[in-house]
Amino acid sequence: MEFLKDFWMFLKERKKFWLVPMILILVLIGVLLVFGTSGAAAPFIYTLF
């Protein structure tokens, strides 16, 4: 909840509402990637970034 509140405040402050559809699509793809990534590969990515 705190995160959503912060994010809303951030969009308001930066006047970047045009980002919302893109964020939703990218986050959806991202979520798929998170769940689609096998347990073995995920830690590897984490160490790199």
Query: Strand, helix or coil at 16?
Result: coil
Site for other proteins in 10-39 (CB under 8 A): 10, 14, 16, 19, 22-23, 26-27, 29-31, 33-34, 37
Can you count the helices (H) and strands (E) in the chain? Answer: 3, 0
Q: Of residues 38, 39, 40, 49, which one binds other proteins by CB under 8 A?
A: 49
The smaller minimum CB distance to other proteins, of residues 40 and 46, is found at: 46
Is there a contact between 6 and 12 (Cβ–Cβ < 8 Å)? Answer: no
What are 25's two structure tokens?
């699509």
Q: Is 40 in the site for other proteins (CB under 8 A)?
A: no
Q: Is 46 in the site for other proteins (CB under 8 A)?
A: yes
